[in-house]
Amino acid sequence: MKRSRILLTLLLAGFTLAMSAQHSLLGVWQLQMPAQQDGGAQWQNVPVWKIYKGDGTYCAFMLVNGEMQCVLTGEGAFTILSDSTYSERVDENLFQPELKGKTNHIGYRFIDADHLGISVQAEGTAEPMFEMWKRVKAEMPQAAPQGPPPADGRPQARRPRPQPNGPDAADLDDDD
């Protein structure tokens, strides 16, 4: 009986560790902002991402210009405190360097399996800041992006470019 209790305790401890390693917060998330479309509120992806890793670290990065340059905006460590709160220790923050070395407590709630709402009370602010994040999945989106829009904003038909030392479009006729 004593062995059963010890074995059960070890199994539960292992299961708890495995569950914390597979927490729903882990993964890659993309920031979303509200946008008005067709008379209703929609959420639109913005070029900011955050990665929560299984080793308890996180990093955030964003695209900063039309040349698709990416910069690391923040990194540090996080700890899950409850089913609605986690803490982030800030090691680096590009936009708020005064946060370096500080720990923020962040409220979170899963809207569904792929949408995460967070609330953080930043130091020196009267109101909490709210953000919506969408999980990034390893799957093709419904409509694959066709690249950046033209400078004048008008859509253009795209033609495949002939490959160097390869067939030109005219060489691909089947009538030969």
The domain defined by 25-135 carries CATH number 2.40.128.490: yes
CA distance 71 to 63: 7
- Count Cα atoms within 13 angstroms, Cβ side, for 2: 0
Q: Residue 26 to residues 20, 29, 87, 107, 146: CA-CA distances in angstroms?
A: 10, 9, 14, 15, 30
- Averaged pLDDT, groups of 10, the chain, 176 residues long: 43 38 88 81 90 96 88 96 95 92 94 93 78 91 57 44 41 42
The two structure tokens encoding residue 168 = 């030109």
Beta-carbon contacts of 34 under 8 Å, excluding residues fewer than 6 positions away, are 41, 42, 43, 44, 132
pTM for this model (two decimals): 0.66
